[in-house]
Each structure stands twice: as C-alpha cells, then as structure tokens.
Amino acid sequence: MKLTLARAKELLAATTGDPHLVVHATNVRGCMEAFARHFGQPPEEVEHWGAVGYLHDYDYERFPEEHLEHTEAELLAEGVDAADVRAILSHGWGICNDVTTETDLERSLFCADELSGLVWAAALMRPTGISDLEPKSVVKKFKDKKFAAGCNRDVIRKGAELVGLDLPAAIAVCIDGMKPYAAETGLLPKASLP
C-alpha cells in the first residue's frame, strides 16, 4: 500500500524526537504537496507525495553519520511500499548514495529537501514570517553565501534543475507548499504569536 500521511507520522514519531527534524519533515511535506499539485497530481497523490516527504529523513536522528543506510530494510519490514522506500533513498543521490532520481516525485523530493531549508531560514528572520515572503528575497539569500551556510547551494541548484524550474519558480512552489504549515514550523507573523 502506498504510504499514507498517518503512517508516515507514526513511523517518524517512533524514531525522531528532535523538534528541528520534525519541523524539517513538515516543511518537506508541504513542499512535496505543492510539487504534486505543480505536476498535476490528483488529491490522493498530493497526500501521498506529502507523506513521502514527511518520512524522508526516517533514520537521520539515529544515524546521522550513516544517513539512509538504515532506511531500506527497516521501512520494507514496516510494510512501506518498495517504490516509496526507493523514493526516500533517492534524495541522497550524490550525497550519501548513488540512487538516482527517476520520477517526478523523486526529483521533487531531492529539490524540496535542501531548498525548503533555505526558504524556512529566510522566512524565520522576517517579522511577517512566510506570509508575504517573495521568491526574490529568497534568491537574494541564496546568493549570500554566509546566510544559512548549511544549505548547500550546489544541491539546491541541482534540485531546481531536476524539477525543470528556474530557481525563483522552484522557490515559489516551496513557499506555496510551506505556507499552510506556518503555525507548526514557527513561520507565523510574529505579532500573531501570544
């Protein structure tokens, strides 16, 4: 059976407690939902792409130095579809393995993983959060090598290329996907916080 969001949440909760990783999972989920819409997927696939995004760093908290080496056997044993497991492995292409991206879902996950981090960091600094964040301000941050230096610019460039978008267009998809989850990811306008 294709991965559902409920199952993805259950599986991630069993292995991951770091709130930053949960925020990252939520960001990637949102981006994947927006990429699914961008690629014309029906509503059930939008949820499915989001679920794969949510679960993609399944083994990271336990095995940061062996990321994605403890994913395949465990998730298959948990009954996750082989295609979904493969998709998760492919976000490590050229970084921790040689599983190439073959489908729109896989290419989108590769793009969302690194780019969502830059978008999140850019939105986090703003008093208005992600509510009125524009792609061009994220592009500016992209060019500032000191900003969110952990977000690898080459990986971001490769991700946008994989999904066939220029950088501002890929950023626009991510902003659109992440907005609905602003309350969970700390990106609400500051004035609306208690």
Q: By the criterion CB under 5 A, which residues form the site for Fe ion?
A: 57, 113
**Between 84 and 113, whose beta carbon lies closer to Fe ion?**
113
Residue 114 near residue 151 (C-beta atoms within 8 A): yes
**Between 86 and 128, whose beta carbon lies closer to Fe ion?**
86
> Cβ of 147: how many Cβ atoms within 10 Å?
15
Query: Which of 130, 135, 126, 123 lies closest to 169 in space, CA to CA?
Result: 135
**Between 57 and 59, whose beta carbon lies closer to Fe ion?**
57
Residue 185 near residue 22 (C-beta atoms within 8 A): no
**Between 97 and 128, whose beta carbon lies closer to Fe ion?**
97
Q: How far is the CB of 28 from Fe ion (least distance, A)?
A: 6
Give dist(CA 181, CA 184) in Å, integer. 5
Give dist(CA 81, CA 51) in Å, integer. 12
Q: How far is the CB of 194 from Fe ion (least distance, A)?
A: 30
Q: How far is the CB of 107 from Fe ion (least distance, A)?
A: 15
Q: How far is the CB of 113 from Fe ion (least distance, A)?
A: 4
